[in-house]
Amino acid sequence: MDNREECREFLTSRRAKITPEQAGLPTGSRRRVPGLRRSEVAALADMSVEYYSKLERGNLAGVSPAVLEALARAFQLDDAERAHLVNLAQAADGSDALTRPRRRRTQERWKPHRSLQWTLDAVTAGPAFVRNGRMDILAANQLFRAFYADVYATPRNQQNLARFTFLDPASRRFYPDWDAFADITVAIVRAEAGRNPHDKDLHELVGELCTRSDGFRTRWGAHNVRHHGTGTKHFHHHAVGDLSLAFEGREMAAAPGLTLTIYTAEPGSPSEEGLRLLATWAATQEATHRTAQSGTG
Protein backbone atom coordinates (compact mmCIF):
# COMPACT_ATOMS: atom_id res chain seq x y z
CA MET A 1 0.00 0.00 0.00
CA ASP A 2 1.24 3.49 -0.90
CA ASN A 3 1.88 5.20 2.43
CA ARG A 4 1.73 8.73 1.05
CA GLU A 5 -1.64 8.01 -0.53
CA GLU A 6 -2.91 6.39 2.69
CA CYS A 7 -1.82 9.41 4.73
CA ARG A 8 -3.30 11.87 2.25
CA GLU A 9 -6.64 10.11 2.01
CA PHE A 10 -6.95 9.62 5.76
CA LEU A 11 -6.33 13.30 6.53
CA THR A 12 -8.60 14.40 3.69
CA SER A 13 -11.39 12.11 4.85
CA ARG A 14 -11.12 13.35 8.45
CA ARG A 15 -11.20 16.97 7.29
CA ALA A 16 -14.35 16.29 5.28
CA LYS A 17 -15.96 14.45 8.18
CA ILE A 18 -15.94 17.23 10.78
CA THR A 19 -18.25 20.18 10.34
CA PRO A 20 -17.51 23.81 11.29
CA GLU A 21 -20.22 23.58 13.95
CA GLN A 22 -18.52 20.56 15.53
CA ALA A 23 -15.20 22.44 15.52
CA GLY A 24 -16.75 25.55 17.05
CA LEU A 25 -16.22 27.65 13.92
CA PRO A 26 -18.63 29.97 12.10
CA THR A 27 -20.42 28.26 9.23
CA GLY A 28 -20.48 31.11 6.75
CA SER A 29 -22.64 31.26 3.66
CA ARG A 30 -20.25 30.40 0.82
CA ARG A 31 -18.61 27.12 1.77
CA ARG A 32 -17.53 24.86 -1.08
CA VAL A 33 -16.37 21.90 1.01
CA PRO A 34 -18.53 19.64 3.21
CA GLY A 35 -16.16 19.79 6.16
CA LEU A 36 -13.35 22.10 7.19
CA ARG A 37 -11.08 24.17 4.99
CA ARG A 38 -7.34 23.54 5.16
CA SER A 39 -6.89 26.96 6.69
CA GLU A 40 -9.36 26.09 9.45
CA VAL A 41 -7.58 22.84 10.26
CA ALA A 42 -4.27 24.70 10.35
CA ALA A 43 -5.68 27.27 12.75
CA LEU A 44 -7.19 24.62 15.01
CA ALA A 45 -3.88 22.71 15.05
CA ASP A 46 -1.82 25.88 15.55
CA MET A 47 0.30 25.46 12.41
CA SER A 48 0.71 27.27 9.13
CA VAL A 49 -1.55 26.51 6.19
CA GLU A 50 1.54 25.65 4.14
CA TYR A 51 2.71 23.09 6.71
CA TYR A 52 -0.70 21.48 7.03
CA SER A 53 -1.04 21.34 3.24
CA LYS A 54 2.29 19.50 3.12
CA LEU A 55 0.99 16.97 5.65
CA GLU A 56 -2.24 16.47 3.74
CA ARG A 57 -0.22 15.68 0.61
CA GLY A 58 0.91 12.60 2.52
CA ASN A 59 4.21 13.86 3.91
CA LEU A 60 4.00 12.52 7.47
CA ALA A 61 7.63 11.37 7.65
CA GLY A 62 9.42 12.91 10.62
CA VAL A 63 6.29 14.47 12.10
CA SER A 64 6.58 14.88 15.86
CA PRO A 65 4.15 13.38 18.38
CA ALA A 66 3.10 16.94 19.30
CA VAL A 67 2.04 17.65 15.71
CA LEU A 68 0.12 14.37 15.51
CA GLU A 69 -1.64 15.20 18.76
CA ALA A 70 -2.52 18.66 17.42
CA LEU A 71 -4.05 17.07 14.32
CA ALA A 72 -5.94 14.57 16.47
CA ARG A 73 -7.41 17.40 18.53
CA ALA A 74 -8.32 19.45 15.45
CA PHE A 75 -10.12 16.49 13.87
CA GLN A 76 -11.57 15.33 17.21
CA LEU A 77 -10.27 11.82 16.54
CA ASP A 78 -11.31 8.91 18.73
CA ASP A 79 -8.80 6.46 20.19
CA ALA A 80 -8.85 4.16 17.16
CA GLU A 81 -8.35 7.07 14.74
CA ARG A 82 -5.51 8.50 16.84
CA ALA A 83 -3.75 5.13 16.87
CA HIS A 84 -4.22 4.83 13.10
CA LEU A 85 -2.73 8.29 12.52
CA VAL A 86 0.30 7.36 14.63
CA ASN A 87 0.70 4.07 12.74
CA LEU A 88 0.60 5.88 9.39
CA ALA A 89 3.22 8.36 10.59
CA GLN A 90 5.47 5.57 11.87
CA ALA A 91 5.23 3.77 8.55
CA ALA A 92 6.04 7.00 6.69
CA ASP A 93 9.02 7.56 8.96
CA GLY A 94 10.26 3.98 8.61
CA SER A 95 10.31 3.70 12.40
CA ASP A 96 8.31 0.47 12.24
CA ALA A 97 11.10 -1.34 10.40
CA LEU A 98 12.40 -3.03 13.54
CA THR A 99 9.05 -3.91 15.11
CA ARG A 100 6.54 -4.61 12.34
CA PRO A 101 8.24 -7.57 10.58
CA ARG A 102 8.56 -9.44 13.86
CA ARG A 103 4.86 -8.95 14.54
CA ARG A 104 3.91 -10.08 11.06
CA ARG A 105 5.94 -13.27 11.43
CA THR A 106 4.18 -13.91 14.74
CA GLN A 107 0.82 -13.76 13.01
CA GLU A 108 1.73 -15.70 9.89
CA ARG A 109 3.45 -18.59 11.68
CA TRP A 110 1.33 -18.59 14.80
CA LYS A 111 -0.31 -21.85 15.70
CA PRO A 112 -2.51 -22.26 18.76
CA HIS A 113 -0.69 -23.91 21.62
CA ARG A 114 -2.57 -26.90 22.90
CA SER A 115 -3.19 -25.12 26.21
CA LEU A 116 -5.01 -22.33 24.34
CA GLN A 117 -7.17 -24.90 22.58
CA TRP A 118 -7.91 -26.47 25.96
CA THR A 119 -8.93 -23.02 27.21
CA LEU A 120 -11.22 -22.43 24.25
CA ASP A 121 -12.74 -25.88 24.60
CA ALA A 122 -13.40 -25.19 28.29
CA VAL A 123 -15.73 -22.35 27.24
CA THR A 124 -18.92 -24.34 26.77
CA ALA A 125 -21.59 -21.68 27.28
CA GLY A 126 -20.71 -19.50 24.30
CA PRO A 127 -18.73 -19.29 21.06
CA ALA A 128 -15.04 -18.44 21.59
CA PHE A 129 -12.32 -17.86 19.01
CA VAL A 130 -9.01 -16.20 18.17
CA ARG A 131 -8.58 -14.00 15.09
CA ASN A 132 -5.96 -11.71 13.62
CA GLY A 133 -6.42 -8.23 12.14
CA ARG A 134 -7.08 -9.72 8.70
CA MET A 135 -10.13 -11.43 10.24
CA ASP A 136 -8.66 -14.92 9.79
CA ILE A 137 -10.10 -17.44 12.27
CA LEU A 138 -7.04 -19.04 13.87
CA ALA A 139 -8.55 -21.13 16.68
CA ALA A 140 -12.06 -21.79 17.97
CA ASN A 141 -14.15 -23.94 20.27
CA GLN A 142 -16.80 -26.36 19.09
CA LEU A 143 -19.66 -23.95 19.77
CA PHE A 144 -18.04 -21.26 17.62
CA ARG A 145 -17.64 -23.72 14.74
CA ALA A 146 -21.33 -24.56 15.03
CA PHE A 147 -22.25 -20.89 15.38
CA TYR A 148 -20.32 -19.95 12.23
CA ALA A 149 -21.22 -23.15 10.38
CA ASP A 150 -21.73 -21.17 7.16
CA VAL A 151 -18.11 -19.98 7.23
CA TYR A 152 -16.75 -23.49 7.59
CA ALA A 153 -19.19 -24.84 4.98
CA THR A 154 -17.70 -22.71 2.18
CA PRO A 155 -14.06 -23.54 1.39
CA ARG A 156 -13.50 -20.30 -0.54
CA ASN A 157 -14.04 -18.33 2.67
CA GLN A 158 -10.75 -19.80 3.91
CA GLN A 159 -12.14 -19.28 7.42
CA ASN A 160 -11.94 -15.52 6.99
CA LEU A 161 -14.76 -13.36 8.36
CA ALA A 162 -14.17 -10.53 5.89
CA ARG A 163 -14.55 -12.88 2.91
CA PHE A 164 -17.62 -14.40 4.51
CA THR A 165 -19.21 -10.99 5.11
CA PHE A 166 -18.70 -9.62 1.61
CA LEU A 167 -18.54 -12.67 -0.67
CA ASP A 168 -20.94 -15.21 0.84
CA PRO A 169 -24.71 -14.56 0.43
CA ALA A 170 -25.28 -16.52 3.66
CA SER A 171 -23.81 -13.61 5.63
CA ARG A 172 -26.85 -11.44 4.91
CA ARG A 173 -29.09 -14.01 6.57
CA PHE A 174 -26.70 -14.64 9.46
CA TYR A 175 -26.23 -10.90 10.13
CA PRO A 176 -29.69 -9.27 10.34
CA ASP A 177 -27.97 -5.87 10.53
CA TRP A 178 -25.56 -6.65 7.71
CA ASP A 179 -24.54 -3.04 7.05
CA ALA A 180 -23.32 -2.58 10.62
CA PHE A 181 -21.29 -5.81 10.46
CA ALA A 182 -19.85 -4.75 7.10
CA ASP A 183 -18.81 -1.37 8.52
CA ILE A 184 -17.14 -2.97 11.53
CA THR A 185 -15.33 -5.55 9.42
CA VAL A 186 -13.80 -2.99 7.07
CA ALA A 187 -12.86 -0.70 9.96
CA ILE A 188 -10.96 -3.56 11.64
CA VAL A 189 -9.13 -4.48 8.42
CA ARG A 190 -8.33 -0.81 7.70
CA ALA A 191 -6.84 -0.42 11.18
CA GLU A 192 -4.74 -3.54 10.58
CA ALA A 193 -3.46 -2.04 7.33
CA GLY A 194 -2.19 0.92 9.33
CA ARG A 195 -0.46 -1.34 11.86
CA ASN A 196 1.03 -3.73 9.30
CA PRO A 197 1.36 -1.86 5.98
CA HIS A 198 3.72 -4.46 4.48
CA ASP A 199 1.56 -7.54 5.15
CA LYS A 200 1.39 -9.33 1.79
CA ASP A 201 -1.58 -11.49 2.77
CA LEU A 202 -3.47 -8.38 3.83
CA HIS A 203 -2.74 -6.69 0.49
CA GLU A 204 -4.08 -9.72 -1.35
CA LEU A 205 -7.22 -9.84 0.80
CA VAL A 206 -7.97 -6.15 0.28
CA GLY A 207 -7.30 -6.43 -3.45
CA GLU A 208 -9.61 -9.42 -3.77
CA LEU A 209 -12.44 -7.81 -1.82
CA CYS A 210 -12.13 -4.45 -3.59
CA THR A 211 -12.33 -6.28 -6.92
CA ARG A 212 -15.23 -8.56 -6.03
CA SER A 213 -17.37 -6.44 -3.70
CA ASP A 214 -18.71 -2.95 -4.33
CA GLY A 215 -19.75 -2.80 -0.68
CA PHE A 216 -16.23 -3.44 0.52
CA ARG A 217 -14.64 -1.07 -1.99
CA THR A 218 -16.93 1.82 -1.00
CA ARG A 219 -16.31 1.29 2.70
CA TRP A 220 -12.57 0.88 2.19
CA GLY A 221 -12.46 4.29 0.52
CA ALA A 222 -14.02 5.92 3.59
CA HIS A 223 -10.85 5.23 5.66
CA ASN A 224 -12.82 4.57 8.84
CA VAL A 225 -11.13 2.65 11.65
CA ARG A 226 -12.30 1.49 15.04
CA HIS A 227 -11.47 -0.52 18.12
CA HIS A 228 -13.83 -3.42 18.61
CA GLY A 229 -13.63 -4.82 22.13
CA THR A 230 -17.09 -5.06 23.64
CA GLY A 231 -20.76 -4.74 22.78
CA THR A 232 -23.86 -6.64 21.71
CA LYS A 233 -24.59 -8.18 18.31
CA HIS A 234 -27.64 -9.79 16.75
CA PHE A 235 -27.51 -12.97 14.66
CA HIS A 236 -29.87 -15.36 12.92
CA HIS A 237 -28.63 -18.95 12.98
CA HIS A 238 -30.31 -21.33 10.54
CA ALA A 239 -30.68 -24.03 13.22
CA VAL A 240 -31.70 -22.10 16.34
CA GLY A 241 -33.06 -18.77 15.09
CA ASP A 242 -32.40 -15.28 16.45
CA LEU A 243 -29.65 -14.67 18.99
CA SER A 244 -28.68 -11.49 20.83
CA LEU A 245 -25.17 -11.97 22.22
CA ALA A 246 -22.77 -9.82 24.20
CA PHE A 247 -19.10 -10.10 23.35
CA GLU A 248 -15.75 -9.29 24.93
CA GLY A 249 -12.58 -9.18 22.86
CA ARG A 250 -9.07 -8.84 24.28
CA GLU A 251 -5.67 -8.70 22.62
CA MET A 252 -3.55 -11.69 23.57
CA ALA A 253 -0.47 -10.73 25.58
CA ALA A 254 1.42 -13.78 24.31
CA ALA A 255 0.66 -12.98 20.66
CA PRO A 256 0.33 -9.23 20.00
CA GLY A 257 -2.06 -8.47 17.17
CA LEU A 258 -4.29 -11.46 17.87
CA THR A 259 -7.65 -11.09 19.60
CA LEU A 260 -9.51 -13.59 21.79
CA THR A 261 -13.28 -13.05 21.66
CA ILE A 262 -16.03 -14.76 23.63
CA TYR A 263 -19.77 -14.42 22.96
CA THR A 264 -22.24 -14.86 25.81
CA ALA A 265 -26.00 -14.51 26.30
CA GLU A 266 -27.86 -12.78 29.12
CA PRO A 267 -28.68 -15.35 31.81
CA GLY A 268 -32.27 -16.55 31.57
CA SER A 269 -32.81 -14.98 28.15
CA PRO A 270 -34.15 -16.69 25.00
CA SER A 271 -30.66 -16.29 23.53
CA GLU A 272 -29.16 -18.32 26.38
CA GLU A 273 -31.62 -21.09 25.58
CA GLY A 274 -30.70 -20.69 21.92
CA LEU A 275 -27.02 -21.27 22.73
CA ARG A 276 -27.95 -24.41 24.68
CA LEU A 277 -29.87 -25.68 21.66
CA LEU A 278 -26.91 -24.78 19.46
CA ALA A 279 -24.57 -26.80 21.68
CA THR A 280 -26.91 -29.79 21.38
CA TRP A 281 -27.14 -29.31 17.62
CA ALA A 282 -23.33 -29.08 17.40
CA ALA A 283 -22.88 -32.30 19.38
CA THR A 284 -25.38 -34.07 17.12
CA GLN A 285 -23.62 -32.81 14.00
CA GLU A 286 -20.25 -33.94 15.38
CA ALA A 287 -21.60 -37.39 16.22
CA THR A 288 -23.12 -37.72 12.75
CA HIS A 289 -19.83 -36.67 11.16
CA ARG A 290 -17.83 -39.19 13.17
CA THR A 291 -20.30 -41.97 12.32
CA ALA A 292 -20.05 -41.11 8.63
CA GLN A 293 -16.23 -41.12 8.83
CA SER A 294 -16.11 -44.49 10.61
CA GLY A 295 -18.47 -45.93 8.03
CA THR A 296 -16.22 -44.91 5.15
CA GLY A 297 -12.96 -45.81 6.84
Tens of pLDDT along 220-248?
Answer: 999 999 888 899 999 999 999 999 999 99
- Asked whether 129 and 120 are in contact (CB, 8 A), the reply is yes
Residue 72: inside a domain, yes or no?
yes
Q: Do residue 208 and residue 137 come from a single domain? A: yes
* pTM beyond 0.85: yes
Report the chain's mean pLDDT, rounded to a whole number.
90
Same domain, 156 and 261: yes
Q: 43 and 86, same structural domain? A: yes
164/77 same-domain check? no
Regarding whether 209 and 153 lie in a shared domain, the answer is yes
- Pairwise CA distance, residues 179 & 215, whole Å: 9
Q: How confident is the model at residue 97 (pLDDT cuts 50, 70, 90)?
A: very low
Same domain, 124 and 66: no
Tell me, yes or no, whether 63 and 122 share the same domain: no
pLDDT at 95: 56
Please determine, for residue 103, whether its predicted confidence score (pLDDT) is greater than 70: no
Same domain, 16 and 83: yes
Q: Enumerate residues 6+ apart whose C-beta is below 8 A from 57.
A: 4, 8
CA angle 171, 246, 85 (to 5 degrees): 75
Looking at the domain assignment, is residue 177 inside a domain? Answer: yes
Residue 99 CA to residue 96 CA, distance in Å, equals 5
Q: Domain with 160 in it: what CATH number?
A: 3.30.450.180
User: Does 201 lie in the same domain as 77?
Assistant: no
Which residue range is the domain that position 86 belongs to?
Answer: 3-95
Is residue 159 within a helix (H) or strand (E), and if so which, with residue range?
none
Which of the listed residues 76, 95, 114 is the one where a domain comes to its end? 95
For the chain, state the CA radius of gyration.
Answer: 22
Residue ending a domain, among 36, 71, 95, is 95
Q: What is the pLDDT of residues 142-195, one digit of tens each?
A: 999 999 999 999 877 789 999 999 999 999 999 999 999 999 999 999 999 999
Pair 49, 163 in one domain: no
